[in-house]
């Protein structure tokens, strides 16, 4: 199997490969450039994002510093916002939908290692894609683990560890992350706990 294809096979492989390391270094050089940009260099950031990521939609903004294993395996939809210290362990594909918000210090990790210590000693690894649906909000300090799909419109509470798929239109929290409730009419009336939205908020 081709070295690069191993990354996307979802099978165990050994990641101490010089050819893979050389390809990864090229991506990480681009990531370094992104993290050295100034706040005033918005156009430069967009240009680097298009070089770094597999695809970038309209009006995406990622606050540096950004960390990524590759960058070139991450796909961004339109209007994606990520706060500082986003970590993308994108040894295989990460798909992030439209209008996704990501809080500070979030890790999205496609890569894992076998439990068996002999395999880990030999740097065995596997990678499984992650899918984040449209209109998802991932709260600060959350971790999304290999193979997870988060359904559209869902909210992942701060500090969650997402080990399994989360359905659409729910609030899910915890370690491991579990569904707390559905998103519904209550959320059109209240924005935080017992704090009620002004009736004319959508009318400007």
| Residue 8 annotated to the active site | no
Token pair 């209240």: residue: 190
**Exposure of 42 by Cβ count < 10 A (0-12 exposed, 13-18 middle, 19+ buried)?**
exposed
- Give the other-Cβ count within 10 Å of 126's Cβ: 22
Among the options 93, 113, 131, 186, which is catalytic?
113
Q: What one-character-per-residue DSSP string does 13-73 give? A: EE---HHHHHHHHHHHHHHHHHHT--TT-HHHHHHHHHHHSSEE-TT-EEPSPEEES-STT
Residues acting as catalytic residues: 113
């Amino acid at each position: 199997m081709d070295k690069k294809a191993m990354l996307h096979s979802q099978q165990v492989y050994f990641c101490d490969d010089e050819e893979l390391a050389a390809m990864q270094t090229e991506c990480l050089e681009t990531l370094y450039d992104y993290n050295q940009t100034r706040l005033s260099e918005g156009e430069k950031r967009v240009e680097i994002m298009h070089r770094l990521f597999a695809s970038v939609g309209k009006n995406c903004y990622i606050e540096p510093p950004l960390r990524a294993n590759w960058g070139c395996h991450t796909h961004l939809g339109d209007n994606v916002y990520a706060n500082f210290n986003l970590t993308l362990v994108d040894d295989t594909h990460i798909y992030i939908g439209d209008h996704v918000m990501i809080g500070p210090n979030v890790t999205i990790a496609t890569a894992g290692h076998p439990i068996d210590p002999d395999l880990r000693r030999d740097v065995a690894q596997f990678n499984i894609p992650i899918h984040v649906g449209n209109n998802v909000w991932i709260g600060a300090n959350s971790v999304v683990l290999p193979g997870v799909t988060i359904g559209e419109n869902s909210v992942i509470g701060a500090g969650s560890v997402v080990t399994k798929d989360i359905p659409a239109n729910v609030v899910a929290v915890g370690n491991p992350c579990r569904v707390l409730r559905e998103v519904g009419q209550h959320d059109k009336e209240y924005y935080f706990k017992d704090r009620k939205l002004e009736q004319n908020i959508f009318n400007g």
